[in-house]
DNA sequence: ATTAAAATTCCGTATTGTGGAATTTATTCT
DNA sequence: AGAATAAATTCCACAATACGGAATTTTAAT
């Protein structure tokens, strides 16, 4: 669109791709196919804004600190709740059930968002509530994708009985294979929940979302629909949070 | 230098400053003083490179994900951070408190690393956070060792009141004599921090590290211990940085 | 439906960015 | 050492590019 911006970004992309992180103007000209005088002009302009910086004594250029400054700033604002809310609203509307967003916190997870469906106004759990990490569909998906040493220590505390703990781990492996979890009556008698995990750009678990419904009123077809929708929404949130695809 | 790059960055800077993080083209035109058609053209070009992105349904623009992508890439390669991390980990372990690494960036410093102590898991400040240069122990040590003309201009902006500013300069001279700084409740009520500067081989300030602890729980002996450890660690990082070319 | 205001696009023009060539600086050879 | 060669950097006349006022389209209000 604007040639100089396109070309400037071409230089930036070349600098950021590949292992090499220090470039001479001539090397950049070679790599981008731009006339060398053009490369000089662009580099000078980019340097003015700290988008690239020159290493005094080798004359080489590298990416500037502005990327870190603005990158970290933007990263801070990737607030999972803000990102998730519109997606959860759509989800609640689609499935006509209450949906939750949880984040892990030591041995419990905390409900940080709840969207009530327009139809079913049965409020069971409220924002801020803490649920042991081994209870409920959402929490299980988080555990299933957490680093093993964390999970092990945590389960040691929450499930002291060895055989029971092993059985639980078996469940987690199954959850990890499938990518979602279903729980029945774990947190609240007579309800079921379908949960799916949310990841950040590194693949670290940031939280999980879940749909909660009355078991009696949920058919198999609906359950399948819930699974489809909740995994879809979770993936959408992850990708909005900056997961690399 | 290159007008379109300057103007594009003007828009980016406006978007990244201030709390507001979603902007309509007209608002950006108002704020930057650029003709509105120019703002449109620039935004379209920036969007092409993911430097800004448009929120579909509000038509507003925000910073794009490219900043996070390249910012984190560059951040991973920051020499000072690589060098400092093992030393900070040892420090956090020795003093059993959370330790920070900051680098100066115009009128603020940015937290680029935080190591939580195994014992005290009170997380107060997070990576990427920006703190005015006149606040906190770490920042004061950086100012104390910065070139006077930089410091003067900066303080003029941050502390408009003359007498107050002179008093602050007095503090900086004291910090420079001692080689470390102590702050009490400046950034966070009820905490204290001990900071020490990091230099490159030429003696230029690259950043500062600090230990943060709850004021109530810190005895005089512990404070002395913190001072000893933080200056020791800072010197170790400085000398390690001198060997990186 | 009508009008007004705001958002977005268009397009003739002047300004800006362009890039080949000249100049300066660094390196190698005699 | 100086000359020759190569690489890095700057210059500047020119035309392609980005410019921005005005026209058009969309949205909101009445």
Residues of B in contact with A76 (CB under 8 A): 126, 128-129
Q: Which of A1, A49, B43 is nearest to B35 (CA)?
A: B43
Distance from CA of B228 to the nearest CA of A (A): 31
Q: Which residues of A114-136 are buried (b: 16+ CB within 10 A; e: fewer)?
A: bbebeebeeeebeeebebbbbeb
Report whether pLDDT(A33) > 70.
yes
pLDDT digits (tens, 9 = 90+) for A126-144: 666 778 999 999 999 999 9
pLDDT at residue number A122: 60
Q: Higher-confidence residue: A19 or B69?
A: B69
Does residue B165 reach within 7 angstroms of strand D, measured from its CB?
no
Q: Which of A19, A112, A12 is nearest to A71 (CA)?
A: A12
Report whether pLDDT(B55) > 80.
no
Give the chain A residue nearest B47 (alpha carbons).
A1
Q: Do A201 and B72 touch (CB under 8 A)?
A: yes
pLDDT at residue number B168: 95
Verdict on whether the full-model pTM lies above 0.85:
no
Q: What's the mean pLDDT in A141-168?
A: 91
Which residue segments constitute the domains of chain B, with CATH numbers given?
2-74 (1.10.10.10), 78-240 (3.30.450.40)
pLDDT digits (tens, 9 = 90+) for A35-51: 888 899 899 889 888 89
DSSP B149-186: HHHHHHHHHH--SHHHHHHHHHHHHHHHHHT-EEEESS
Give chain C positions with protein CB within 7 A: 6-10, 16-21
Report whether pLDDT(B80) > 60.
yes
Q: Do B45 and A72 touch (CB under 8 A)?
A: no
Report whether pLDDT(B244) > 60.
no
Q: Which one of A49, A67, A77 has the shortest CB-CB distance to B70?
A: A67
Euclidean distance between the first and final Cα of chain A, in Å? Answer: 26
pLDDT digits (tens, 9 = 90+) for B146-204: 988 889 989 999 999 999 999 999 999 999 999 999 999 998 888 999 999 998 766 78
Q: What's the mean pLDDT in A59-73?
A: 86
Give the chain A residue nearest B130 (alpha carbons).
A73
Distance from CA of A182 to the nearest CA of B (A): 32
pLDDT at residue number A184: 94
pLDDT at residue number B121: 55
Q: Higher-confidence residue: B48 or A74?
A: B48
């Amino acid at each position: 669109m604007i040639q100089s911006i396109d070309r400037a970004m071409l230089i930036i992309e070349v600098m950021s791709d590949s292992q090499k992180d220090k470039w001479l103007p001539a090397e950049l000209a070679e790599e981008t196919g731009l006339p060398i005088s053009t490369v000089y002009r662009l580099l000078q302009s980019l340097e003015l804004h700290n988008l690239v910086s020159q290493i005094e004594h080798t004359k080489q250029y590298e990416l500037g600190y502005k990327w870190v400054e603005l990158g970290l700033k933007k990263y801070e604002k990737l607030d999972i709740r803000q990102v998730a809310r519109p997606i959860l609203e759509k989800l609640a509307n689609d499935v006509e059930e209450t949906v939750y967003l949880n984040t892990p916190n030591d041995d419990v997870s905390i409900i940080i968002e709840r969207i009530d469906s327009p139809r079913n106004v049965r409020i069971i759990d409220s924002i801020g509530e803490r649920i042991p990490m081994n209870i409920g569909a959402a929490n299980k998906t988080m555990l299933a994708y957490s680093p093993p040493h964390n999970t092990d220590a945590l389960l040691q505390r929450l499930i002291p009985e060895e055989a029971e703990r092993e059985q639980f781990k078996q469940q987690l492996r199954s959850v990890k294979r499938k990518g979602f979890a279903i729980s029945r009556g774990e947190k609240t008698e007579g309800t079921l929940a379908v949960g799916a995990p949310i990841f950040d750009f590194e693949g670290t678990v940031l939280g999980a979302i879940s749909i909660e419904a009355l078991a009696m009123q949920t058919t198999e077809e609906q359950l399948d629909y819930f699974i489809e929708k909740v995994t879809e929404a979770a993936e959408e949130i992850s990708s909005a949070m900056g997961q690399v695809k």
